[in-house]
With several copies, the nearest count.
Chain A
């Protein structure tokens, strides 16, 4: 990597960050004419109320002393004076101190250039900044989502047809029972209720009883029961049957 050359700073008054920049520029870029530098403006900017970085007062005063001495030398030369002598002692001292500080500071200026390269080189990478709490890993599953589907499916299924098996396995209807009773009564003088319903289901038994009661109501038969819960004799009424 090439080291930044503090001796080759760009000449741009807006870029002066401090007295050292100005000093370097003045000393090392001879094409800047001292008289072209708006010295008063520089000093005012540097020490005024609103600079980004006000010049350190002692540094600024040393620089001003030096600049004044240089300006004086130059002015005398311009009017044709022979100028051999050194600037005055103050200016010499200021010069020594400034050079020493310049030499001491130069490494940091170069390091700043190195930092700038790093700054640019690392511009693209981005770090994750999610707080730890937010970055919850997937918890180990303790429930099977299939159970959810199962639960909903139960709600979505059509209800089963109610079973009629406990009621009857066969068609039972009243007109058929009445006809069966009437047929039985034509064959004998009387029939036993129990004989008729033997082997039938409870429902058919109950409906046969209702059919017998219906025949009695219509006057086609009489019912006789010897004792409670005993058999019932069903006897056709004389002349009632066809």
Chain B
């Protein structure tokens, strides 16, 4: 492996957070193209047999253990007892991820529920963080964290599918409206009460 590859491996190993191309370039006195090449080389060397892999994640590059080793890793570092996320938590995360920075009242209005507890829980678990209040005052706004990006395997805060992809299509939205208009007017035959 090249000397630059070795240097990058050492840096990714030591760094407690993902390192950007720029940070890697600064520390190794190499340019971005050379860094990219060395990252590829490093990934190839690891891919064959290693427990580790090179990943682009959360705004930078990191070494991490491969997914198939989760079992033995958990024996070293116990996972938090409840690692799952409720639908409420996932929907709140989705709202923040697409609209950040966004305040609790704004999330509440969109979701139709009060989200104080859910937001606090997500802050506690490190998926959301406070992001200041708007000029002129107002509610604290929130954004997603690097931990969120790591846990969801996102390369950065913009590594989300465009929201348009999730929108109801015109016909879907129309169908919804039509169904609602018909509600209460169900066909007598199907209506068994």
The 9 lowest CB-CB distance pairs between A and B, nearest first, are A124-B67, A73-B184, A124-B70, A122-B153, A59-B112, A130-B16, A107-B166, A111-B94, A110-B166
Q: Are A106 and B98 in contact (CB under 8 A)?
A: no
Tell me which of A53, A56, A111 has the highest count of chain B C-beta atoms within 10 A of its own C-beta.
A53
| A128 / chain B contacts, CB cutoff of 8 Å | 13-14, 16, 63-64
| A95 / chain B contacts, CB cutoff of 8 Å | 180-181
Q: Are B65 and A108 in contact (CB under 8 A)?
A: no
| Known contacts A112-B93, A127-B150, A135-B13; A106 and B166 CB within 8 A of each other | yes
Across the two chains, which residue of chain B brings its CB closest to A73?
B184
Q: Are B168 and A106 in contact (CB under 8 A)?
A: yes
Q: Are B14 and A124 in contact (CB under 8 A)?
A: no
| Known contacts A111-B98, A127-B62; A35 and B193 CB within 8 A of each other | yes
| Known contacts A19-B113, A118-B153; A87 and B87 CB within 8 A of each other | no
Q: How many residues of A contact B (CB 8 A)?
A: 71
Q: How many residues of B contact A (CB 8 A)?
A: 70
B108 interface contact, C-beta 8 A: yes
9-residue interface stretch from B28-36, B128-136, B171-179: B171-179
User: Bound complex: CA of A103 vs CA of B182, how far in Å?
Assistant: 17
9-residue interface stretch from A136-144, A173-181, A234-242: A136-144
A18 interface contact, C-beta 8 A: yes
User: Bound complex: CA of A101 vs CA of B173, how far in Å?
Assistant: 11
| Known contacts A77-B188, A114-B166; A55 and B64 CB within 8 A of each other | no
Across the two chains, which residue of chain B brings its CB closest to A109?
B91
